[in-house]
Amino acid sequence: MTAFVRFPIEGGGSILVEGAQSSSGPVKAGRLTDAVEDATQTLQGALASVKTMAAAVMHQFREVGPDQVELEFGIELDAQAGAVITRLGVASHLTVKLTWQSETDPAA
């Protein structure tokens, strides 16, 4: 059975995340309400550390001076840990794209 985690949203409401990590163990068939675990923090709180990490990575690459920086990574939401950078293979997955525009006019 797919596990769900309910993340409260600051200011009211909540969101159910399907397939999020849950530490509650197996759930008896037919008891969907038992398959929903409440997260220990808000959605914004869970994403705060990811936001800090993304800002730090972007700062480092902006120092190189590209015209554009693109950062891509996966986030997994966990009932206890919050947001976790997902991994691809045996390492965490971050894709960084740096773009420099030509200083010369292509029409010239």
49 Cα distance to chain centroid: 9
Helices then strands, each counted (H, E), the chain: 1, 9
- Residues 40-82 pLDDT 10s: 899 999 999 889 999 999 999 988 999 998 988 888 888 888 8
- For CA atoms 26, 28, 29, 31, the dihedral sign is negative
% residues pLDDT > 70 (the chain):
73
pTM for this model (two decimals): 0.65
